[in-house]
Structure formats: C-alpha cells, structure tokens
A and B are shown apart, each in its own frame.
Chain A
Amino acid sequence: MYSEKVLDHFHHPRNQGKMKAADGIGQVGNPVCGDIMKIYIKVGQNADSVPIIEDIKFETLGCGAAIATSSMLTEMAKGKTIDEALKIGKLEIAQELGGLPEAKLHCSILAHDGLKAAVADYRQNKNKS
C-alpha cells in the first residue's frame, strides 16, 4: 500500500524528537482521523541575514502516512528560508515521498499545517520580545 520511501521514513524517521529551547512550536490535529503532529523549529539566519530554519524536529501520533510525511517535511524544510519553507505545497510532501494512497492525502496535509503553525508561533514570539 505504501511506497518504499514512505516505509523508509516511517521506520527510520528523520529529525524525530523534542527540541529544547525551540523558537517556534506548532501543534496541529486532524479532527477527522485523530492524528496529532507537533513541529519544533530553531530559526537562524543565512549569509544575507534572512531567517532560515536552522533546525527542525517533529513528534507525531498518527498513522504511517502521518509519520512519514512529518519526517519528509523536516528534511525538505531544513536549511530553507522561512518563506521558502512555507511554500512547500500540501501535495509536494506526498509527491516527494513517491506518492500516497488517495485516502491518505489528508494525513500529509497535517505536516504542511504543522510547519505553518510553528512559523506563526515563532513570529508571535518574536513580536513579543
């Protein structure tokens, strides 16, 4: 049912775990299926002083697709500027994984939303300080 790449990310998730002193944390849930995802980001700057996602971690309670897309997203977003990372499309993560079964696409949207929430949290924290 799942592609080899999906299973690889599921069995060997990248950037999985908590992050201490994260700059932004986003937690999103899918009320339909019950999956929950938490994304942590550490924000740095590139040579042009543009904010980038220096480090990213995830924690997920969810199905194979939810875990694999969380893992894939962290790989895709890491090192990108925040604006670039936010441009990662909803379906792009699934595409990068070699596709997901039709019924599983909703699970992959969670990763996209999780990153958006983490960035929003980071921006809010920054405005406060």
Chain B
Amino acid sequence: MVSVKKVYLDNAATTPVDSRVLKAMLPYFENNFGNASSLHQFGLDARVAVDRAQKKIADFFACSKAEIYFTSGATESNNLAIWGLIQRLRLDQPGFQPHLIVSSIEHDAVLESVRALAARGLAEVSYVPVTARGVVKVEKLVAAVKANTVLVSVMYVNNEIGTIQPIEKIGATIAKLNRKRPQKIYFHTDATQALNYCDCRVSHLGVDLLSFSGHKIYGPKGIGGLYLKSGVVLEPLFFGGHQQNNIRPGTYNVSGIVGLATAIDLIGASNRQRENQRIEKLRDRLIATVQREISGVVLNGDLVKRSPNNANFVFRGVEGESLVLLLSERGIAVSTGSACSSGSLEPSHVLAALGLAPELAHGSLRVSLGRFNRQTDIDYFVTELTRAVKRLRKMSPL
C-alpha cells in the first residue's frame, strides 16, 4: 500500500495523548502502582499523586480540591450529575416530581440521561430550542422554568457545530431566579468541549456542576471528572468502597487521574490565548479557502460565538459519509452528521435543531482542529476536499 500523508482533523471526537501527559502517567503503572486508599507507603505515594492532581484541576476551575470528583469520562459525569441530583431530591422529598430543562443540542450523554429519567416517570423534561445559529436564548430558557424546576443543563461548547453557549449569563439568571423561589434550581454544564478554549472558572460561570473528560484535551480516554459545588448533594450511581465520599466509589484510577491533571495543567501552561489565536487563524483560513475553492457551501453555527477549532460545513449535492470515506482514503480524519452515518437513520439532532433540512444535513462535514495541526495540514485537506466534493458531485444524479 502506498503510504499517504495523515491529517487528523477530528479533535472533537478525541485527541491524541500529549507526550508530556503520557510521560507523567507512566510511573503510575509499574512502579508507583499502589492503591490510593492503602495505608502503606505504596498507597501513600498514590494518594499524594491523586491529591496533587486534584489540586491542579481545582486551580484550573478556581474551586476547592474537595469539589473535584473523578469519573470514567464525561458520559458518566453527566449521568452522575443529572441522575444523582434527581434521585437525591426525590429521596429527600418523597412524592415530589422534579422538572428539568436542557437545550435541544446537548450531547447524547445528557439527552439520553434525561430521556431515561422521563421514561421512568422520575422527572419531567423541557427541551429549549436554539436559534438558527445554534445558540440558546436565555429568555426561552427562563420561560420554561416552572415551580418544580430543579435543574438546568446546558452545554458550554457544542461538539458538532462548536457554538459557545451563554453559560455565564444563564448562571447569573438562575442565581437571580433562585433568590425569589423556594425550590432552588441547580445549574449543570457539560464543558467537555470547552476546556481547551474557554474560561472554565466555576464561580465566574455560576454553575453548580460541571462535566469534563480527559480524551478531548490531549489526556487519556476513560477518565473524566465532575465539579460538584460544596453543599450540593448527589445520590451515587453505583455503590461500593467508600472512595470519593461514597459519591463515586471505586479504586482511584491513579495513572488516569495524573494524566487528566497534567492535560489540564498544559492547557493553562501552554498559553491558552496564543494557542486559541493560532488555531482560530488556521480555521478561518480553512473556511475562506473552502469557500473560495468549492461552490454550494453552507456554514453551520454562529461564526462568532464559536470555539476556535470548529468548522461545520454543508456541501450541497454531496453525502457526508461518502465524503468522510473518500477523505479517509487520503489519510484525512473528519466527521459528518449525515443520517446515513448515524445508525439511527436520523440526521444529527443538532443540525435538525438549527432548522437545517434533512437533505442539507445529508451533506454536512465537521472539521475540528487541534494542538498538533499546522498550515500544511490545512492546505492538504482543502486540496483533497475539493477533489472529493467534485468527484461525488459528478457521480450524483442531481
């Protein structure tokens, strides 16, 4: 086989592990392998590593160490936040039927969690629509609030179209509402796609719970975390040893925790603002070149309130999965929201929420840049993309 250039532009799906992260993790597999709950020196060494990691993460979110919980990733964090809170409130107030509000563009880890609660009759759920540009309107959210509303969950950055949601504004609005109502509304955000690019200081955002994940930030897969504001009580999802205040029992994943903390530390240390500008410049050039070279292109999502690494296109008269396959043959990794690629045969719920017709969603392509992309990657990508779109349009009956 001819070796082709490899260009990874699917950083919203997952990122490579930064070599500095890997290096920090390695000692915790073979030499410092202790169980962080053991009393002996092996255990103490592991405990120290977990404590240090927790401190680094707490610094990033500007919260206290005790407010950081470790999970297996953002899926678990979202489930723990939503199910944990609802179950706790139901136990505390028997007979109480809680109401939740989520945006219609949440990740499935949130959407399926709330759907499962609703399906079991454990909560009522309202879905707040977004604008055609993919941003939640705070007024719409406020209008959905009821006397029994206990939780609002809105993601910080959307994983498909990269739009940044007005978390700070929602946080302030909920705080104001809470001053006047007997039933407190808790505010959760899924910040999985935001850590690399956005201010995540929790008091600044006004959130009570915040989910994050290692593998979107150049850390390992299978580790993530939940910020849980002190005083907020959750029912655990599962039961076992007494780690993490019984809220998330299970032996500490020490190497993963060290990797997660190192990855988070590197976001700050690597000078986020400069890195954001670098990525944004690459992304903007990519969009400009695509628009110049290819006709029939639509851009999805707000262009300003947007993560610097995301571009989401529609190529009219082209199907997204075919495009992904052709590009993959040329060593390029991107993704699509086409119905054909979904398994459920439904186009992406995010593109649908924008009001995008299914035949347009059919031709969607998500490009998500990252730390290791350079201009040469973008040049190669646009050349190959232009060729692939031309080829598919030539095959089309339209």
Q: Tell me the A residues contacting B by CB distance below 8 Å.
A: 2, 7, 10-11, 13, 16, 27, 32-38, 59-67, 103-104, 106-107
Number of interface residues of B (CB under 8 A): 27
Contact assessment for B325 and A33 in the assembled complex, using a CB-CB cutoff below 8 Å: no
A53 to B320 Cα, complex, angstroms: 32
A-B contact pairs, 19 of them (CB 8 A): A7-B325, A34-B361, A37-B397, A59-B395, A59-B396, A61-B317, A61-B318, A61-B395, A61-B397, A62-B322, A63-B320, A63-B340, A64-B321, A65-B340, A66-B340, A67-B322, A67-B395, A103-B345, A106-B345
Contact assessment for A66 and B319 in the assembled complex, using a CB-CB cutoff below 8 Å: yes
A1 to B359 Cα, complex, angstroms: 24
Q: Which of B341, B344, B358, B396 contacts A61 (CB 8 A)?
A: B396
Instruction: Map CB proximity to A onto B121-135 as digits: 1 under 8 Å, 0 otherwise.
Output: 000000000000000
Return chain B residues, CB-CB under 8 Å to A61.
Answer: 317-319, 392, 395-398
Contact assessment for B362 and A34 in the assembled complex, using a CB-CB cutoff below 8 Å: yes
Min CB distance A94 to B, Å, is: 15
A37 to B319 Cα, complex, angstroms: 12
Contact assessment for B340 and A35 in the assembled complex, using a CB-CB cutoff below 8 Å: yes
Looking at chain A's contact residues, is the secondary structure mostly helix, strand, loop, or mixed?
A: mixed
Min CB distance B397 to A, Å, is: 4
Contact assessment for B395 and A13 in the assembled complex, using a CB-CB cutoff below 8 Å: yes
> A27-B397, A36-B398, A103-B342 known; 18 other A-B pairs, CB under 8 Å?
A7-B325, A10-B325, A13-B395, A16-B395, A33-B338, A33-B340, A34-B338, A34-B358, A34-B359, A37-B397, A59-B396, A59-B397, A60-B397, A63-B320, A63-B340, A63-B341, A103-B343, A103-B344
Kindly state whether residue B339 has any CB partner on chain A within 8 Å.
yes
Return chain B residues, CB-CB under 8 Å to A104.
Answer: 340
Contact assessment for A38 and B339 in the assembled complex, using a CB-CB cutoff below 8 Å: no
Return chain B residues, CB-CB under 8 Å to A60.
Answer: 395-397
Min CB distance A7 to B, Å, is: 8
Query: Which of B318, B345, B397 lies at the interface centre, i.e. has the most chain A CB atoms within 10 A of its CB?
Result: B397
Q: Which residue of the partner chain A has the closest CB to B326?
A: A11
A33 to B341 Cα, complex, angstroms: 9
Q: Tell me the B residues contacting A by CB distance below 8 Å.
A: 317-322, 325-326, 329, 338-345, 347, 358-359, 361-362, 392, 395-398
A2 to B398 Cα, complex, angstroms: 26
Return chain A residues, CB-CB under 8 Å to B318.
Answer: 61
Min CB distance A11 to B, Å, is: 6
Min CB distance A22 to B, Å, is: 12
A32 to B344 Cα, complex, angstroms: 10
Return chain B residues, CB-CB under 8 Å to A16.
Answer: 395
Contact assessment for B340 and A107 in the assembled complex, using a CB-CB cutoff below 8 Å: yes
Q: Which of A10, A11, A34, A37 contacts B340 (CB 8 A)?
A: A34
Return chain A residues, CB-CB under 8 Å to B342.
Answer: 103
A66 to B320 Cα, complex, angstroms: 12
Q: Which 9 A-B pairs have the closest CB atoms?
A: A63-B340, A38-B397, A34-B362, A61-B396, A59-B397, A63-B321, A33-B339, A103-B343, A33-B340
Contact assessment for B339 and A36 in the assembled complex, using a CB-CB cutoff below 8 Å: no
A125 to B362 Cα, complex, angstroms: 33
Q: Which of B329, B341, B345 contacts A32 (CB 8 A)?
A: B345
A67 to B395 Cα, complex, angstroms: 9
Return chain A residues, CB-CB under 8 Å to B339.
Answer: 32-34
